[in-house]
Structure 1
């Protein structure tokens, strides 16, 4: 093993940059006679001079032995048995060294199980440190920091790949992607996040195997999409997902009637703004991005329902929202707390143009007004529509004249100046023109 060892004076990782709670877990395991090593993204990011988001630990202690050492431990997972050590809201994840599942005896199906397509459904085979490295996904994630002597262990040439800024999969890419198709999403995320170049052998199977993502639970997709689009490199990640045909699997409704250049332009602008907010340390919500991603499918479907059935646009819009969200949650399980916000943002697009009497005050007091206004501004920017620009300017002036936050100070007093109307208010919802002949048959104004 010495040939894989990098002594403390040959690498840049210092305990001063490791989370205090992670150090507590490492030392308790070590003092109890177990091997304890920091592994994965934390080691990789520390070597790159970045601040790790999570500190994962691996050990030769079994999950039951880990739980016996920590009162604040809970065991989770059936597919992969893991120990979570809880420090308030912080979680330190501890995994036991994994072994090669292909050598496991067929009778021990409680430890390992694969689908007919090769996906691992259960995998609790334990092994040595070297075997654990072979089970990691990418070489840059197979680096270990040993708390015993502060040395690094590099079994898969990860240090050289970091130096070369290259992302390489460990093992046969076809086999590894089939074992866990989410590795294709992780490949895209690391490529964008770390500014790496994905190796040709790692990239080649992705387009060919993209449809395997359909076998992944929709709830897991939600967590992965959050990491992909809300990590500060959303724009680059989005473009890579589209290039490698993964976006089409995650959001099939975006490509149902062919690619829509305006829709993709709006998504890219929203991701540019979101990346900027994250870079400034500001809060972002997944609901806003999902509202942007699905806006044009909703609008297009609403026009189709209205034209085909002669329904009022407002009612058609409600049906379209339900249809689009019902389709989307089949591939990505968006929680109800987010779908409620998405609906609010969309419905306020119908209410923002109608502000006569006290309507402006009621809309302004809506808890999602700011997100809806930003959404309206984004639409105006992308569609370059004069009437939308007039509407945005009116609401901008209204906010300047009524600056007090509603949720802190109650009802806002409306000034006379804020009651003036924009030059053009003859519409309640600016309709986008579509190619379908049926959709041009009705332009009735909704009664919002």
Structure 2
């Protein structure tokens, strides 16, 4: 009774508190049943598995890749699970790096530059009751010294801060989040190892949490965001969240307050850059979680149907679907452009020069919306460059256009400007001109610049002169324009002598920076 009462105070589910986990029964499913096409498996993932197995270790493709293979999709990422420790894995590959503190894993790298691919290798982890883990009073940020050297640690809310105790495959399986992500595929034997009816859930299109959902969300609150992301990603295939998995989501949302901002920022980018941004936004609304996960995500959801943001989300989904790279800087530049634009306009109207006004507006937006999460590094630098480039697109004469197209971030700046044109913010003719200019030869580019210059000169000639006075103007009106050198336009009787004096002042200014004596003998 007392234990049950304490469990309730701590928010633990009675069904989960003190209950030994169901490790599940190992079931080996042959290819005749699961039907995975081996041609869909990445050769580099096969190489990692084969290398580990030849060294005497167990190794399998695991997680979302197996799920995608089961439903006939070609996975974009491949993860491998093994009983080899991170140090043992690293020793077998020339380009392998151990990363992470909370979960230590190995990145095996193939290729270079944009063509590189990373196979993530994790060691089977043991299932450990969090009650037996070392406890710290603070969180990841405030307890770094305490966490040093710990293998299994939790904070006061039960959130796992360190989890680096190795164990057998059956315990590794029960620690994974969803049943459809807890299957292991051996590309050498083509056997799928299933402990929690993942194959059955994959066939019935059910997204089910392993174990008690509320407890699993408390162990790692980021699973809340993962549930949203997977349901959005898999909804076109007919997958739906099981009721016991979706039920605790809203109530558990407050647990995200203790998650480091940098980790939430990364999870937000996964929501928006895995090809299902629009579906993720819609899923957040359906689940009643449109606000409160992360402040910047709140802005994305709020503006998801507005002009340039809607276009950017749609374009991001399209590019991911086509296998093209996407940059978080571009999407976030679109999301926050309204703040930058409004702040810029206000400063210009108050009398500040345009360029510093834009720079100050950008800095204010970074402080208010992003903070120090990005480290003001490459992400912030790319966003700033995209924004600062926008007024330069208005300049289509002289050397500016030639310098613009040679900038490394020109394409991102142009694509951003194109979205602005599509949203009706600027003239589409401007976007079309830059599109043609960027693809033209040097000779054609010069012709295009010359044509713009001629058009601007023609417009200035056709525009009404500022100094032309209406019929009702007083005789004093010509004085100002005449001083600027257009006195011949006015022939008011009796004004010839003053006009000559004004000419002498103009001549003197041209010769000697306004010296009064320089034009004394002009006539």
TM-score normalised over the length of structure 2: 0.69
1:265 deviation in Å?
Answer: 4.1
Q: Structure 1 residues 34, 3: closer, same or farther in 2, change over 3 A?
A: closer
Distance of 1:75 and 1:53 partners within structure 2: 22
| Secondary structure at the counterpart of residue 95 of structure 1 | strand
Residue 418 of structure 2 is aligned to residue 418 of structure 1 = no
Bigger drift between 271-280 and 106-115 goes to: 106-115
1:95 deviation in Å?
Answer: 1.8
Bigger drift between 213-222 and 117-126 goes to: 213-222
1:46 deviation in Å?
Answer: 0.9
1:401 deviation in Å?
Answer: 5.6
Match of 1:202 among 245, 252, 256: 245
| Secondary structure at the counterpart of residue 248 of structure 2 | helix
**Partners of 1:144 and 1:153 within 8 A in 2:** yes
1:335 deviation in Å?
Answer: 5.9
Match of 1:250 among 278, 285, 294: 294
Please name the residue that 2:271 is paired with: 228
Match of 2:82 among 48, 59, 77: 59
Q: Tell me, which stretches of 5 or more residues in structure 2 are unaligned?
A: 1-23, 136-148, 464-523
Q: Structure 1 residues 335, 92: closer, same or farther in 2, change over 3 A?
A: farther
- Rg comparison, structure with higher value: 2
1:327 deviation in Å?
Answer: 3.2
1:290 deviation in Å?
Answer: 1.0
**Partners of 2:130 and 2:158 within 8 A in 1:** no
Match of 2:204 among 149, 160, 164: 164
Q: Which whole-Å deviations, capped at 9, do the CAs of 1:174-224 have from their partners, x for residues lacking one?
A: 222222222222222222222222223322333333344343334434443
Distance of 1:304 and 1:204 partners within structure 2: 46
Please name the residue that 1:315 is paired with: 356
Bigger drift between 11-20 and 353-362 goes to: 353-362
1:142 deviation in Å?
Answer: 0.6
Please name the residue that 1:438 is paired with: none
Q: Which whole-Å deviations, capped at 9, do the CAs of 1:89-118 have from their partners, x for residues lacking one?
A: 433322222122216855697211111222
Q: Which whole-Å deviations, capped at 9, do the CAs of 1:372-395 have from their partners, x for residues lacking one?
A: 33323323433x45xx2xx33134
Q: Which whole-Å deviations, capped at 9, do the CAs of 1:252-299 have from their partners, x for residues lacking one?
A: 48659xx86587443122111222233334443222111101111223
1:74 deviation in Å?
Answer: 3.3
Residue 216 of structure 2 is aligned to residue 173 of structure 1 = no
**Partners of 2:398 and 2:449 within 8 A in 1:** no
Q: Which whole-Å deviations, capped at 9, do the CAs of 1:51-110 have from their partners, x for residues lacking one?
A: 112222222233334345445443322211223334444333222221222168556972
Bigger drift between 124-133 and 96-105 goes to: 96-105
Distance of 2:244 and 2:322 partners within structure 1: 36
Residue 49 of structure 2 is aligned to residue 26 of structure 1 = yes
Distance of 1:62 and 1:16 partners within structure 2: 29
**Partners of 2:182 and 2:195 within 8 A in 1:** yes
Q: Structure 1 residues 405, 133: closer, same or farther in 2, change over 3 A?
A: farther
Match of 2:319 among 257, 267, 277: 277
Match of 1:288 among 310, 326, 330: 330
| Secondary structure at the counterpart of residue 79 of structure 1 | coil
CA RMSD of aligned residues (A): 3.6
1:323 deviation in Å?
Answer: 1.7
1:147 deviation in Å?
Answer: 5.5
**Partners of 1:39 and 1:56 within 8 A in 2:** yes
Bigger drift between 147-156 and 267-276 goes to: 147-156
Q: Structure 1 residues 376, 143: closer, same or farther in 2, change over 3 A?
A: same
**Aligned positions of 1:72-91 closer than 5 A:** 72-88=95-111, 89-91=116-118
**Partners of 1:219 and 1:334 within 8 A in 2:** no
**Partners of 1:218 and 1:331 within 8 A in 2:** no
Please name the residue that 1:429 is paired with: none
Distance of 1:84 and 1:335 partners within structure 2: 26
**Partners of 1:277 and 1:283 within 8 A in 2:** yes
Match of 1:187 among 222, 227, 242: 227
**Partners of 1:253 and 1:297 within 8 A in 2:** no
| Secondary structure at the counterpart of residue 194 of structure 1 | helix
| Secondary structure at the counterpart of residue 374 of structure 2 | coil
Distance of 1:375 and 1:191 partners within structure 2: 30
**Aligned positions of 1:363-374 closer than 5 A:** 363=404, 366-374=407-415
1:31 deviation in Å?
Answer: 3.6
**Aligned positions of 1:47-446 closer than 5 A:** 47-70=70-93, 72-88=95-111, 89-102=116-129, 105-106=132-133, 110-146=150-186, 149-195=189-235, 196-241=239-284, 243=286, 244-245=288-289, 248-252=292-296, 255=299, 264-303=306-345, 311-312=352-353, 314-330=355-371, 332-333=373-374, 336-355=377-396, 359-363=400-404, 366-382=407-423, 384=424, 388=426, 391-397=427-433, 399-400=435-436, 403-404=439-440, 412=446, 414-419=448-453, 420-421=455-456
Distance of 1:91 and 1:364 partners within structure 2: 32
